[in-house]
Structure 1
């Protein structure tokens, strides 16, 4: 994975708020107020080459990683070197990301937007929307399954990478383990797909190779997470919750190692499928 040729990543114009702030509440059986901290979320409007594309509800941390990972994981750019610049602005609950991308990627994005025009009232958003939800992605070359010892005590080890979750809950986490079984980095967000986007963005911005490594998600594993790791070229995905049937089908079809790590039992390898003797 090549590092993006960023012209520059601007700082947010105002310091972001703490990821959690104290809020008061009272117990149902008592009127005495007390306080706790809750996870925060902000609206992030993302524009590519001046054209608005999406508004995402995200946790206000690692937004630069998120924008890069969202661009790659959503297929808006095919590679990191198609991202030229990211400018973040805004404060409070309203944030903005202005992204400059390569002309070819922008042309493809405009074509997708044109195909979607006029279909918003059809209920299923038209054939083009379905095709975009189920894109043709490259099949991975395949990789060995990770050694079992890499997963020993993994649930406990990832706690160190979930400070926000430990503090106030209400967030998901995604992490990356390198080809030596070392947990390198983690990101948290109110959205499980956002957390994975942040990890992909961090790997890209720090030019960390993904070969032989694996992604870990604390949430249920559905199709969009499979698509994101496929686009990132990560060959193994560990989920702390069960995958959906469609996610499993895609993992097997694209040579992605998919492993569920239950809380009280041994890891379950869903992909590749176990060959049974006749």
Structure 2
């Protein structure tokens, strides 16, 4: 399944109407199925799905390490894609227990949680002491746009980039969902053993984005847009450097 597809369009401009073909980002349902048990359906770009499965499993706390991720197979149908993920028995039993505790509950504001403690979990303090220069951040920002191939074609996707300490962008992941792009990146970074670097995202820095990065013990998250209050508070609590409004010649440090 392709990342983008051709769609006809009508363009109205200055009183004139013309027809053309546009490249549009593909969005499709992706079902996360653990040991045969359906857990979640995400609307995502159908690419880098094994990275997605691993990153989602780690950032959602379904597994604690890649050693508990046994494997992943894809089943593609007309309705979407199933990711059939195998995890170790202990983690699967914990997942089933978590799901049983939710039976009969309705109207939750955050899917998959049953209490305020679960809604705002706290990752462990970050052990890394990574520091980067302003020039490194500028270098990463300048390089990122050229690597966003799907964004250039469609204008409809977010990107998350893994950057080395000097600001060199090693690889990126793109997706119609900002959380999905980050999960894909974290999965890829885990597989490659990347630890000493930072993450640059093209979206806002929300609480969930900070939580996912901090849970991977990554010391710095830079965003091109604004942070939220909870994102700043969590970054302070776990020792993550949070930078937002990352633009050419300017960025704002909110934590770290």
**Interval of TM-score (by shorter of Structure 1 and Structure 2):** over 0.9
User: RCO (CA 8 Å, sep 6+): is it higher in 1 or 2?
Assistant: 1
SS at match of 2:247: coil
Question: Can you list the C-alpha shifts for 1:206-257, whole angstroms capped at 9, x where unaligned?
Answer: x23212x101110001011111111111111111111101100000000001
Give the aligned partner of residue 267 of structure 1: 251
Contact 1:142 1:255 in 2 (8 A): no
Distance 1:168 1:185, change over 3 A: same
TM-score (structure 2 length as normaliser): 0.92
Q: How does 1:223-242 map to 2 (within 5 A)?
A: 223-242=207-226
Q: Does 1:162 align with 2:148?
A: yes
Match of 1:68 in 2: 54
CA distance in 1, matches of 2:117, 2:29: 27
Structure 2 residue 189 is the aligned partner of structure 1 residue 195: no
Q: Which residue of structure 1 lines up, in the alignment, with residue 125 of structure 2?
A: 139
Alpha-carbon distance in 2 for matches of 1:126, 1:231: 18
Tell me what 1:82 maps to: 68
Change (3 A) 1:101 1:160: same
Distance 1:126 1:73 in 2: 14
Residue 179 (str. 1) matches residue 172 (str. 2): no
The equivalent residue for 1:24 is: 8
Superposed CA RMSD: 2.0
Aligned length: 254
TM-score normalised to structure 1 length: 0.85
Residue 167 of structure 1, CA deviation: 1.0
Q: Distance in 1 between matches of 2:175 and 2:72?
A: 20
Q: Is the contact made by 2:203 and 2:224 (CA closer than 8 Å) also made in structure 1?
A: yes
CA deviations on 1:62-87 (whole Å, 9 max, x unpaired) are 11111111111111111111000111
1:50 maps to 36
Secondary structure at the aligned position of 1:154 is classed as: helix
Q: How far, CA to CA, are the matches of 1:250 and 1:101 in structure 2?
A: 29
- Contact 1:240/1:262 (CA < 8 Å) preserved in 2? yes
* Structure 1 residue 265 displacement after superposition: 4.9
2:195 is aligned with 1:210? yes
Query: What is the alpha-carbon distance in structure 2 between the residues aligned to residue 54 and residue 101 of structure 1?
Result: 15
**Is the CA contact 1:63–1:198 (under 8 Å) kept in the aligned structure 2?**
yes
The separation in 2 between residues aligned to 1:262 and 1:201, in whole angstroms, is 24
1:95 is matched with which residue? 81
SS of equivalent to 1:128: coil
* Higher mean C-alpha displacement, 136-145 vs 92-101: 136-145
**1:249 alignment counterpart:** 233
CA distance in 1, matches of 2:58, 2:204: 21
Q: Matched residues in 1 for 2:112 and 2:239: separation?
A: 29
Check 1:170–1:124 CA distance in 2 against 1; reply closer, same or farther (3 A cut): closer
Greater fraction strand: 2
